[in-house]
Amino acid sequence: MLKKVVQRLKANLVMKENWLSFTAGLSLVFAYAPFSLWWLPFVILPLWLNLIKDKTPGKAAKLGFLFAFGWFSSGISWVHVSIDEFGGMPLLVSLLLMLILCLYLAIYPALSCFLSARFARGRTLSLWLLPAFWLVCEYLRGTILTGFPWLSLGYSQIDGPLSVFAPVIGESGITLLLLVLTVCLAKLLEKQHIKRHIGLIAGTIAITFVLSKVIWVETQDSQIKVALVQGNIKQSLKWQPEQEWPTMLKYLDLTRVNHDAEIIIWPESAVPSIEPIAQDYLDMVNRSAALNNSSIITGILNYNFESKQYFNRLIVLGKKYQEDKEGAYSYGSGNHYDKHHLLPIGEFVPLEDWLRPIAPLFNLPQSSFSRGDYRQQNLIAQDLNLLPLICFEVAFPEQLAANFTEQTDLLLTVSNDAWFGNSHGPHQHMEIARMRALEFGRPILRSTNNGITAVTDHRGKIISQIPQFEEAVLKTEVQLVTGQTPFSQWGWLLRWLLPLLFFICYVLAAPRKNNSNQP
């Protein structure tokens, strides 16, 4: 009888731990935009870490998996909007696909928990190993199967005090630092080595204060007047043949009354045609922009008739340099950018011979793109260098770093978030763009079809934006800057250097007797 009671209590305890892990992950969505409760991870993570500490590798992996499944289920629920509305599948099937994606993404945090227990001296989870393994597994999540680095922990701190570390160690470094601090808090809850952990927290606070006073890039006296056009074209109408000219004329009309801006940005695939066929229209826009001494950067699809390849492209119309009189555009000129990091399913279909016959989801319009080069020249407009990123690419700082130079004046990202409706996806997308501006110390212009269209300064602060789901033009002046942040120069080393240093510190500092004496 007593044995059954003990077994039942153990089963209830396991069930409770499972639900607590899932709920803890589920609640993390409120740490990200549009909720932006940056302090929330400092409450949730220490409690969850105390739950998983000293677990065996198998139990640690299970709790890590449940935590991450809750985290992604709430955090990227916006993906379901595009599957449900444009995938052409029954609701049950679309929910199943969403479930599979979350289960896949949960593997990586689960793996970090498993490794943190497997390689600990006591063969139970070491909280001090977790930050390093977490960062390694986040790298894998952002790389394998082209990568999906969305919802990394560091993004939650864009409005918090830890954001001052972004120009030095980037978002991935903030993720590591956040985990270190929450491990300290978890240890304090246990009243372990109080002075040591308070010292680490106090030291971080002191460094945070010092970094908040450091100016990595200097503002220049010069400004550039920009206009970002938000056409608010419904996704269901965007590629209808009868809507092609109404859409193109809408962008032209919205631009004509804003030609006093030096640089005008249209969003991703704003021109619903392929570049070789739209030459008459592009020539008209080019001449109009040049006549008014302005430059227009627009998204458009390009089709190479020889190689039979599609590219998601940005081109520059109007003035490339101030002394241009006739405009700089001609088809095939070098002043364009072809998207490199394509979105799975949306822009290319892996195993397409098997998947395309299954459902309309795998036959979305323009889902057969080819990749542009990883390294490409910055776009040039009005004598300025703009580093372009199209939609999903803004989540990959390594790609930005590969194309960033001392001459880069502005960051530019265009998107069409109409796929995700009135969800928190576009807000998270904007949050990621703000982090890139802060990491690289450059203002970022973000032009979208239906929002969020905004201009962010070099400190990651939004200086102007327009409402979602409205036809509007954002016009403002952007202060140019000079100089480079440490992250823009050597941030690519951090992916491996930070975990390596952490492993070394663990080996040197951890006691050799047993797991119960671990720091």
Q: List, for residues 27-54, the tens digit of each pLDDT value.
A: 999 999 999 999 999 999 999 999 999 9
Q: At what angle do helices 57-75 and 41-52 cross, to 10 degrees?
A: 150
Report CA-CA distances (Å) from 448 to 336, 342, 473. 18, 17, 11
Residue where the block lists tokens 């300290």: 184
What residue has token string 């390594």? 398
Q: What percent of the chain has pLDDT over 90?
A: 70
For 501, residues 6+ apart whose C-beta sits below 8 A from its C-beta are none
Residue 511 has pLDDT above 90, yes or no: no
What pLDDT is recorded for position 281?
A: 96
Predicted TM-score of the model (pTM): 0.92
Least confidently predicted of 8-17, 238-247, 292-301: 8-17
Looking at residue 333, its pLDDT comes to 80
Q: Are strands 444-448 and 408-415 parallel, antiparallel or unpaired?
A: parallel
Active site residues: 268, 339, 391
State residue 12 phi and psi, 5-degree precision.
-65, -35
- List, for residues 67-124, the tens digit of each pLDDT value: 999 999 999 998 887 777 766 667 787 788 889 999 999 999 999 999 999 988 777 8
Q: Where are the domains of the chain?
A: 2-214+493-517, 218-484
266-312 pLDDT per residue, tens: 999 999 999 999 999 999 999 999 999 999 999 999 998 888 889 99
Distance between CA atoms of residues 113 and 297, nearest Å: 45
Give the helix/strand (H/E) hosting 76.
none
pLDDT at residue 5, as a whole number: 47
* Greater pLDDT, 232 or 1: 232
Query: What value does the mean pLDDT take over residues 404-427?
Result: 92
CATH class of 218-484: alpha beta
What per-residue confidence (pLDDT) applies to 87? 63
- Residues 115 and 129: beta-carbon distance below 8 Å: yes
Among 61-75, 156-170, 504-518, which stretch is predicted with the lowest mean pLDDT? 504-518
Is residue 360 very low, low, confident or very high in pLDDT (cuts 50, 70, 90)?
low
pLDDT of 515 > 50? The answer is no
Tokens 């979350």 belong to which residue?
102
Q: How confident is the model at residue 133 (pLDDT cuts 50, 70, 90)?
A: very high
Largest CA distance in the chain: 93
Predicted pLDDT of residue 248: 95
- Give residue 330's pLDDT: 86
Q: Is the pLDDT of residue 516 over 50?
A: no
pLDDT band at 519, cuts 50/70/90? very low
Measured distance CA(345)–CA(347) in Å, rounded: 6
Q: Which residues contact 447 (CB under 8 A, 6 or more apart)?
A: 228, 229, 230, 265, 266, 267, 412, 413, 414, 415, 453
Q: Is the pLDDT at 326 greater than 50, yes or no?
A: yes
Asked if pLDDT for residue 185 goes beyond 90, the answer is yes
DSSP class of 339: -
DSSP class of residue 485?
-
Q: How far apart are CA 413 and CA 324, in angstroms?
A: 25
The DSSP result for 455-477, as a single string, is: EE-TTS-EEEEE-TTS-EEEEEE
- For tokens 């720091």, the residue is 519
* Cis amide bond preceding 46, omega within 30: no
Peptide bond into 452 cis (omega under 30): yes
Rounded Cα–Cα distance for residues 267 and 406 (Å): 26
**Contact (Cβ atoms closer than 8 angstroms) between residue 141 and residue 111:** no
Separation in Å, CA 501 to CA 92, 132, 174, 457, 494: 46, 9, 15, 33, 10
Pairing of strands 444-448, 453-456: antiparallel
| Lowest-confidence pick of 92-96, 165-169, 206-210, 365-369 | 365-369
- Phi and psi, residue 481, nearest 5°: -130, 165
Torsion angles phi and psi, residue 333, rounded to 5: -70, 165
DSSP annotation of 420 reads G
Q: Could you identify the residue written with the tokens 């002075």? A: 195
Give me the amino acid identity at 358. Answer: I
Q: Is the pLDDT of residue 237 over 90?
A: no
* Chain segment 416-441, per-residue pLDDT in tens: 988 888 889 999 999 999 999 999 99
Kindly indicate the confidence band of residue 357, based on its pLDDT and cuts at 50, 70 and 90. Answer: very low
For residue 358, pLDDT beyond 60: no
Q: Is the pLDDT of residue 495 over 90?
A: no
- Sheet strands side by side (includes 384-390): 379-381, 384-390, 408-415, 444-448, 453-456, 462-466
What is the reported pLDDT for 8? 61
Q: How many helices (H) and strands (E) does the chain have?
A: 16, 13
476 vs 364: CA distance, rounded Å: 36
**Mind listing the pLDDT tens digit for each residue in 56-83?**
999 999 999 999 999 999 999 988 877 7
pLDDT at position 513 is 45
